[in-house]
Amino acid sequence: MKDEINSEQKLAEQTAKALDSSLEQLSPNISARLEAARKTALATKAKPGTFQNWNFSQLFRPQALSAGLALSVCLLIVWNLSPHIDQQTPTFASSQNLSEFILLSTLDETELDIIEDIEFAYWLAQKLETPGGLNASSLDKPSNG
């Protein structure tokens, strides 16, 4: 096993040496073309990857426009859906109404009458306190009794 590993390592080293020596055998033509390729590459303008070389016209490409349009449509849909969601979702106010409904349903008829009388008395007291609050028209249509 150890011999096998050694032989493989030796083979790898031999191959690496063969590859090294093959570099020396490259034709002058290839070397010249590689040099030309290097010069061409170095002549290209460097782009450091900052905002200074940004081409803002790219922002108006059709892809960017379509992506922006799709985003706008999505936002519009979400915006329109949000009030509908609010109506459907149980909130604090709706839970309060529910508790009031449960409370009222547990009361019998006489207790309801008493509550209504108290409410009327409270309303009447408020109207009398405010100057000019109570007039004939408001008394014409009493809500209770």
Partner 1 sequence: MRELDIFLKDIEKRAFRIAQLATHCEADSLDIVQDSMIKLVTKYSHREPTEWRPLFLKILENKILDWHRKQTVMNKLFFWKKGAKKDNKEIDDKFDGEPEAIDLQACPESLAFTEQLGQHLLKCVESLPLKQQQCFVLRSWEGLSIKETAQVMKVNENSVKTHYSRALEKLRQQHLKLEQ
CB nearer partner 1, residue 47 or residue 141:
47
Segment interacting with partner 1, rule: CB under 8 A, options 31-39, 59-67, 88-96, 134-142: 31-39
CA distance 120 to 143: 8
Alpha helix ranges (H) inside the chain = 2-24, 28-43, 62-88, 92-106, 109-129, 136-140
**Who's near 17: CB < 8 A, 6+ residues apart?**
none
Does 16 contact partner 1 by CB under 8 A? Answer: yes
Does 136 contact partner 1 by CB under 8 A? Answer: no
The string of DSSP codes covering 28-61 is HHHHHHHHHHHHHHHHSPP--SSGGG--GGGGGS
Does 42 contact partner 1 by CB under 8 A? Answer: yes
Does 32 contact partner 1 by CB under 8 A? Answer: no
Does 107 contact partner 1 by CB under 8 A? Answer: no
**Who's near 142: CB < 8 A, 6+ residues apart?**
120
Does 96 contact partner 1 by CB under 8 A? Answer: no
Min separation Cβ 87 and partner 1, Å: 51
CA distance 86 to 81: 9
Return the residue of 44, 58, 87, 135 that touches partner 1, per CB under 8 A: 44
Does 37 contact partner 1 by CB under 8 A? Answer: yes
The residues binding partner 1 (CB under 8 A) are: 7-8, 11-16, 18-23, 25-27, 30-31, 33-35, 37-38, 40-42, 44-49
